Structure formats: structure tokens, C-alpha cells
Amino acid sequence: MSVLEDIISGVREDLHERRLRVGDAAIRARAQAAPPARDAFAALGGHNDQAQRDQVLHVISEVKRRSPSKGALADIPEPAVLARQYRDGGASVISVLTEQRRFGGSLADFDAVRAAVETPLLRKDFTVDPYQIYEARAHGADLVLLIVAALDDEQLGSFLDLTHDLGMNALVETHTPGEVERALRVGARIIGVNVRNLKTLDVDRETFARLSGNIPDSVVMVAESGIRSSEDVGLYGSQGADAVLVGEALVKDNDPLTALRSFIEAGSAAKPPRGR
């Protein structure tokens, strides 16, 4: 069993327990009654003109307690405090891990962050059931994660459609050229390239450069994983990333606000003209 398969097995077990507490009809009703989602596509530069997209590298800053590869990363007693630092540092989107077994996250963390900031929020989890998409919207999510490697084509397309029907956007995560092709085929507007192979947890930072040329300018392109410093952000920016998703490097920094600002500055300065 791969790491990804093992994580998903646990996700399904935990989902079953939540479903017993809040049934499908109830979670759909809560999702429909939630305030309208914020436009994460626009927040990441998706509606901006060519010149503005060239100029700014956006950062998705993550509230992340643990990781399968590194174990415990940071004690985060008050996720809301960290989220406000991210907001003040210029984060375009804030990501909150809600997977518990491997990442130490929870919907309680998500709720605390949602109550603290108006910044668009990504519910970061392993989406394998429509229930989780309704659940994300019910808790105020604006963006959900869809991992291509975890879904077949029918699921990927229907999950993306449901996300859009609920007024949200999806970060569609890829790791191979074939996965990028599948994401584009279903109409993904925000595509992440994860340089970490979720089946083995190995990191190859050259993955982003290999895949970025396959993603058209109309799509917001997000570089994920492998970020240790401003230099790494600058490298992804120079390779055409519109945004980067950063968790570990920020939660382990004693001054995440300043670190975030340095990432935005380095990435924006390195961005080349569009038209890859």
C-alpha cells in the first residue's frame, strides 16, 4: 500500500464517523445555507490582466501542525493568531489542514481560522467523497483540494463540477504530465504541481519545471512543496508559477509574517513575462 492509499484509508474511516454525526441531507443543507464563497481564483490573480499577473507571485500560506514525512512541525495553540499573521503578511489564500491522522489537523482549526480572517480559505484534505465538498462549504471554505492521483476521471470531473456549483474553486493537484492532462480535460482553472510524490513522499524540485510548460496561461499555476527559503520561492517564480503553497517553512519560522513578505517579494521579482 502506498502512502497516499494509507492516508485515504484513514480519511474514509474518519469520514464515516463524521457522517454518523451529521448525515448527508443535513450537511447539504448547511452548505446551501452558508454565506457565499469568496473568489479564490481572483485572489490568486486569475481575473487580473496580463501585466498584473506577470508582476505578482501569490502565496497560499498553510496552517500545518504535522506532516507524514517530517512528523511534528510546530505547536500551534491558536490557529487564528497564525492566520492573522498570514493575512497581515499578504497571503492571498490561507490553507488549513483538516486531516487528523497524519497531519494533526481538524475542522475545529478550520473554524477558528474562518472566524478570524476574511481571506479566502482552502480546506486542505484528501477529498474522496462528495460529502467532504459539502462539508467544506458548510464550514465556510472557498477552495477545496482535489488530488488527481486519488481520483478516477469520473470522480475528478463530478467533484470539480460540484465544487463550482457550490460557488467554490478547486486547487487540482498534479504530479505527472498525465495528471496535468487529466486536470485540463475536466476544466481545472487552478492547477497545483506538487513536487512531492504522495505515493512515496520523495521530493524532486525539478518536477515543477518539467510540468509547467504543459499548463496554459489561462490557468492559475501553483507550485507546491519543496519550499525552504526565499530562494526556492524565487526559483518557482522564475519558472512561471503564479502562486506557491507554503506550510512547513512558515510554521517553523519564529516570524512568519516577515518570512511571508520575503517570499512574496522574492517570487514577484523573479517572475518572467507570461507566454510560456
Q: Quick one: CA dihedral 222, 228, 231, 232, positive or negative?
A: negative
Q: Quick one: pLDDT at residue 276?
A: 44
Q: What is the dihedral of CA 251, 257, 261, 264, to 10 degrees?
A: 40
CATH architecture for segment(s) 1-268: Alpha-Beta Barrel (3.20)
Q: Is 252 a catalytic residue?
A: no
**From 92, 124, 179, 197, active-site residue:** 124
Phi, psi for residue 75 in degrees, rounded to 5: -85, 120
**From 64, 67, 99, 230, active-site residue:** 64
Q: Is 225 a catalytic residue?
A: yes
CA distance 132 to 30: 12
CA distance 226 to 204: 8
**From 61, 67, 197, 225, active-site residue:** 225
Phi, psi for residue 97 in degrees, rounded to 5: -70, 130
**From 169, 194, 197, 230, active-site residue:** 194
β-pair type (243-246, 220-224): parallel
Task: List the pLDDT tens digit at each of the 276 positions of the chain.
Answer: 798 999 999 999 999 999 999 999 999 999 999 999 999 999 999 976 666 666 899 999 999 998 888 888 888 889 999 999 999 999 999 999 999 999 999 999 999 999 999 999 999 999 999 999 999 999 999 999 999 999 999 999 999 999 999 999 999 999 999 999 999 999 999 999 999 888 888 889 899 999 999 999 999 999 999 898 999 999 999 999 999 999 989 988 889 999 999 999 999 999 887 554
E strand or H helix that includes residue 58: strand 58-63
Q: Quick one: pLDDT at residue 52?
A: 63
Q: Quick one: pLDDT at residue 252?
A: 86
Q: Quick one: pLDDT at residue 216?
A: 94
**From 99, 135, 173, 248, active-site residue:** 173
Q: Is 64 a catalytic residue?
A: yes
Q: Quick one: pLDDT at residue 49?
A: 67
**From 99, 135, 179, 224, active-site residue:** 224
Helices 3-21, 130-138: crossing angle, 10 deg rounding: 60
CB-based contact 43:120 (threshold 8 Å): yes
Q: Quick one: pLDDT at residue 157?
A: 98
CA distance 35 to 204: 40
**Coil, helix or strand at residue 160:** helix
Q: What is the dihedral of CA 262, 268, 272, 275, to 10 degrees?
A: 140
CA distance 106 to 23: 19
Residues with Cβ within 8 Å of residue 25, at least 6 apart in sequence: none
Q: Is 5 a catalytic residue?
A: no
Q: Is 248 a catalytic residue?
A: no
